[in-house]
A and B are shown apart, each in its own frame.
Chain A
Amino acid sequence: AQSVTQLDSQVPVFEEAPVELRCNYSSSVSVYLFWYVQYPNQGLQLLLKYLSGSTLVKGINGFEAEFNKSQTSFHLRKPSVHISDTAEYFCAVSEGSNTGKLIFGQGTTLQVKP
């Protein structure tokens, strides 16, 4: 069975500092990987996705993620965060079946401090 583990429940960081949010997955088949962001009292929005090809994926708002098959990881990074990046971030994996079902990690709360 597939699973997703987000290694940090909360990540505090100062404004303009770099940040990395960690995500590991387990799967015996090829997967598609996603990062979503949830701002307070809102639904989830897609940040970026890995389907195939280049292992470095760029998304919206200056975020990027690197797919590492050997380490089964898909860590999210941003070189310089803003106050407005404060939100909850979810890593998700799709097994690639035609159902489109996603398995989500537990979420990481990014707290950007001034």
Chain B
Amino acid sequence: NAGVTQTPKFRVLKTGQSMTLLCAQDMNHEYMYWYRQDPGMGLRLIHYSVGEGTTAKGEVPDGYNVSRLKKQNFLLGLESAAPSQTSVYFCASSRTGNYQPQHFGDGTRLSIL
């Protein structure tokens, strides 16, 4: 039972490059989330999805795009990477919203040079 799997685990990019982070869950969860974690700032929500084919903006969406074409996958894209996007990115999923706990992946460490 893999839970939430994020790929890649580490990546170094140059400013202006693009990339896609993949999140896959095998728990048949409806809701999925992308967060970024920066020192002293906790986790901040980038984008989220309440079901296949839906996406919505979170607290810090600028510079990111997402897609949820399949229920089990949630993709996070950086079209033109900037040094300010250097961070650890976490994906999470939950059965539904409200009081359901979120299940997290192990994170992707992304450095933008």
Contacts and interface: CB of A to CB of B under 8 A. Distances in A.
Interface of A: 4, 6, 9, 32, 34, 36, 41-46, 49, 51, 90, 94, 96-102, 104-107
B84 interface: no
Given A99-B50, A101-B45, A107-B42, A44 B99 contact: no
Contact of A105 (B42, B96, B100): B42
A100 B104 contact: no
Nearest to A34: B101
A98 B48 CA distance: 12
26 contacts: A4-B42, A6-B42, A9-B40, A32-B99, A36-B104, A41-B106, A41-B107, A42-B106, A42-B107, A43-B106, A45-B104, A46-B101, A97-B98, A98-B97, A99-B48, A99-B50, A99-B97, A100-B33, A100-B98, A100-B100, A101-B45, A101-B58, A104-B42, A105-B42, A107-B40, A107-B42
A42 B106 CA distance: 5
B74 interface: no
Interface of B: 4, 31, 33, 40-45, 48, 50, 56, 58, 90, 92, 94, 96-102, 104-107
Interface of B is mostly: loop
Contact of B107 (A32, A36, A43, A104): A43
